[in-house]
Amino acid sequence: MSGPTVNLDNPALVAPKRLKPLFAPGTDKDQALVIFVLGGPGAGKGTQCANLVRDYGFKHLSAGDLLREEQQRPGSEFGEMIKTYIKEGKIVPMEVTIQLLENAMKATIEENGNRKFLIDGFPRKMDQAIKFEEVVVPSKFTLFFDCPEETMRARLLNRGLTSGRSDDNEESIKKRFVTFVETSMPVVNMFNNEGRVIKVDATKTPEEVYEVVVKEFASKGLEFMQK
């Protein structure tokens, strides 16, 4: 088994960027609705987000997708670093991910005024959670998809047949699970202790899972968009 080719703790790999707040001081942060969507790798976050976009008019921002795009962007100073972190199932330093999310949120607001965001696969680490809510905007709640590893593993290996993702393979999946348990679950637990988590059983069919999501959203006062 080959280990990481790059020392992930090397500070030279991280180019800290100053985080600028999304909203100018004094503006009402409630102008944006942010829902974090968390769950283990392959729990079905992206699948359910697509339903929520269709029915509630959210803008879906997947942190993983934004990182993959940045990785492929010609000339990106972070490309190689992101590639390594993703393959190793590690969490890219928060400065990079928060900046990508913030840029995408700003671009959406400028483009069509939509301020309703599903932030998928983020925050995956405590520092990200605290920093994002401090400098960007606090989340309304976290939608957490609960799924056993064996189910997620089977889904990821199946997705890996066609996804082309560098991390949908046995070796990366094992590492992603370790990161999820050790680094991401503490974030879910923190939000849960604050009463800010909706936990949904993600083992059923996508349709059954979504039915529960819709009921939970209604309990939070979120209704289907008028067509």
Ligand X SMILES: Nc1ncnc2c1ncn2[C@@H]1O[C@H](COP(=O)(O)OP(=O)(O)OP(=O)(O)O)[C@@H](O)[C@H]1O
Q: What is the DSSP string of 110-172?
A: HHH---EEEEET---SHHHHHHHHHHT---SEEEEEE--HHHHHHHHHHHHHHH--TT-SHHH
Q: Is 46 in the site for ligand X (CB under 6 A)?
A: yes
Which is closer to ligand LLZGTKA7, CB of 134 or CB of 223? 134
Neighbour count for residue 220 (Cβ, 10 Å): 12
Q: How large is the angle between the packed helices 45-56 and 206-219, nearest 10 degrees?
A: 50
* 178 DSSP assignment: H
Distance of CA 120 to the CA centre of its chain: 3
Which is closer to ligand X, CB of 22 or CB of 200? 200
- One of 14, 19, 33, 47 touching ligand X (CB under 6 A): 47
The response to whether 54 counts as a known ligand-binding position is no
Q: Is 64 in the site for ligand LLZGTKA7 (CB under 6 A)?
A: yes
The response to whether 199 counts as a known ligand-binding position is no
Half-sphere exposure of residue 72: CA atoms within 13 angstroms, side-chain side:
7
Q: Is 119 in the site for ligand X (CB under 6 A)?
A: no
The response to whether 108 counts as a known ligand-binding position is no
Of 125, 130, 122, 136, nearest to 36 (Cα)? 122
How many chain residues are in contact with ligand LLZGTKA7, going by CB under 6 A? 17
Neighbour count for residue 37 (Cβ, 10 Å): 26
91 interacts with, out of ligand X, ligand LLZGTKA7, none, CB within 5 to 8 A per kind: ligand LLZGTKA7
Distance of CA 17 to the CA centre of its chain: 20
Residues 55-74, one symbol each (x = binds ligand X by CB under 6 A, - = not), give ---------x----------
The response to whether 159 counts as a known ligand-binding position is yes
- One of 81, 143, 187, 209 touching ligand X (CB under 6 A): 209
Within positions 150 to 169, which residues make up the interface with ligand X, using CB under 6 A? 155, 158-159
Residues 2-21, one symbol each (x = binds ligand X by CB under 6 A, - = not), give --------------------
Handedness of CA 25, 96, 72, 156 (dihedral sign): negative
Q: Is 187 in the site for ligand LLZGTKA7 (CB under 6 A)?
A: no
Which residue positions form the known binding site for a ribonucleoside 5'-phosphate? 68, 90-92, 121-124, 128, 165, 176
Contact footprint for ligand X (CB under 6 A):
39, 41-47, 64, 121, 155, 158-159, 202, 205-206, 209
